[in-house]
Chain A
Amino acid sequence: MSDITSIPEDRDAGFGDYVALLKPRVMSLVVFTALVGMLVAPGGINPFVGLVAILFIAIGGGASGALNMWWDADIDAKMRRTIKRPIPAGKVEPGEALGLGLGLAGISVIMLFLATNWVAAGLLAFTIFFYVVIYTMWLKRWTPQNIVIGGAAGAFPPMIGWAAVTGDISLASILMFALTLAWTPPHFWSLALFVKSDYKDAGVPMLTVTHGRRVTRNHILGYTFVLAAVAVGLGLTSVGGPSYMVVAVVMNAIFIKGAVDIWRRTDEDSEADSHLVERKVFKFSLLYLFVHFGMLLVELTLTRFGMGGW
């Protein structure tokens, strides 16, 4: 036995390694959609309270990221995309990630409750529970529909932002949730069709692997129809209006066209042009979500000047 404790010198964590546990890139999407949900909600919120609410919604999202990395450290170490995350890289101990995640989850929910109301805080707590327990621990390694479940967790922020202002849940806020929910499967699966992934080695069931690429193409088409219905439906609620509707109809027509193209192709077609259509649809899907939430803000601004809304 040695009586000298040595710390491997290149493995001590800096502040940035703890920030990386919070998945800052996912956080930016959370901030944007939560902000839209908050701004389009009827009534008003003190700007400082609103800012604090967005901050703690983002921190709650970050906490679920840390808990996800704690639980998934074993599979993260097996995949090229995730091997440099703080735990598999050896910079942060798994227990530290667990502690940080639980601590920030508690702080964010309590602070959101103090800043706003229990509906928003309850939704945030449920989101963290849903992402960590239902998605990460239970369904991710069990069903190829894991993308749908994970997408649901990522879809809650606009509902939380809305609830922070109104203290309730409404048709418009549920449809904003449904928009991101229905968007995630075609977005992710079109990526899965052209990126060589190592999910198989990590033992995570991905639709392309478990049911094949033909079934994945069918699923993309199916979810795209659902998505279009939700996107247009959202335009009919109190947060929609003519400008949103025009843009939504055009964008959904393009997206459906892309999904149909993906559906009609065989893998041979796809290999032949190195997945050109799949790549295009994936790229467009990024723009799609951003523009839909962005148009809700445009509609809101126009309404302020008496030119928007129904």
Chain B
Amino acid sequence: MATQIRAEHELHRRRLSRNVGLGVVLVLFVGIVYGLTIAKVGTDPNDDLGAPWAAAQEKAAK
């Protein structure tokens, strides 16, 4: 029968913090790239997504 080591060491806690931290950073980065895409494409008058927005801005300016 194999012996299992179950004791949780402080070391594991630090490694977990590293892994969770990196995971959070990567998810945030994905969110940033997505958000930037929406912000930039959504306000570009040369783009299908941004054209209505640009038209509305122009209208508001008048």
Contact = CB atoms under 8 A, between A and B. Distances in A.
Interface of A: 7, 9-10, 12-16, 18, 46, 48-49, 52, 55, 111, 114-115
B32 A55 contact: yes
A15 B36 contact: no
B40 A49 contact: yes
A48 B35 contact: yes
B25 to A, nearest CB: 9
The 7 A-B residue pairs with the shortest CB-CB distance, nearest first, are A15-B21, A14-B14, A14-B17, A15-B17, A48-B39, A46-B39, A15-B18
A68 B51 CA distance: 46
A6 to B, nearest CB: 12
Majority SS at the chain A contact face: helix
Contact of A52 (B9, B15, B32): B32
Contacts of B22: 15
B53 to A, nearest CB: 11
Contacts of B11: 7, 9, 12
Nearest to B15: A12
Contacts, number: 39
Nearest to B13: A14
Contacts of A10: 10
A118 B9 CA distance: 48
8 contacts: A15-B21, A15-B22, A18-B21, A46-B43, A48-B38, A52-B32, A111-B32, A114-B36
Contacts of A46: 39-40, 43
A13 B14 contact: yes
Nearest to A114: B36
B20 interface: yes
Contact of A48 (B14, B20, B36): B36
A111 B38 CA distance: 15
Contacts of A12: 11, 14-15
Nearest to A56: B32
Interface string B4-33: 000001110111011011100000000010
Given A9-B9, A15-B20, A15-B21, A115 B36 contact: yes
